Structure 1
């Protein structure tokens, strides 16, 4: 299963133990071990947290996409889109995408400070 290999590879590339990665995304070391050994499959929320943590797409984690890093995908020459759920995909301008990215970074920083 591709998910297990990609999780393990990203964890090792980032110099993390299974415990450290588990703490970072809110699961146990046992869960990370299970994902890497193909004994468990991460649920959708966990996949999203993994993708956010490693700054990759969920599609990359599940093997639907070769390109890994969001920053590389953003460099591609294509219009940015935002997903609002229920199949509501809306094209946005590059400026709007940049503003959303900045707002998201500020939100994540705020969330990190709130957890301390």
Structure 2
């Protein structure tokens, strides 16, 4: 996923408008909008500000994978916990850790899709 698409996703997850983020970063909305469309790229200092604002690393924003991860085993528990936190769920006590330890990446992606569907369904129901 490209930088501009990732940036837009982080903004949507934060439930903020381009204008709100631009104000918090001290830039024009049009400047921020151009980052999301890919028309312009932020300089290094702005990239750091964006990463700090969204509480992610610059590598996350840029979509860079740390090659170190290729040598480490896939951590399904971390992946699920991170995703659940992104959805705003603080407690994942309903997980029996022993049942979730040996999931592969495809299993976790399927769980993510299900959570997204459930969250979407809940939002729709609340409207």
Please indicate the TM-score interval, normalised by the length of the shorter structure: 0.5 to 0.7
Q: Give structure 2 stretches of 5+ with no counterpart.
A: 70-81, 83-127
More helix by share: 2
String of CA shifts for 1:4-56, please: whole Å, max 9, x gaps.
01110000110110010111112110011101111000111111000001100
Corresponding residue of 1:39: 39
CA RMSD of aligned residues (A): 2.0
Corresponding residue of 1:24: 24
Distance in 2 separating the partners of 1:19 and 1:65: 30
Q: Which has the higher contact order (CA 8 A, sep 6+)?
A: 2
How many residues in Structure 1 have an aligned counterpart in Structure 2? 68
More strand by share: 1
Distance in 2 separating the partners of 1:13 and 1:52: 15
- The higher radius of gyration belongs to 2
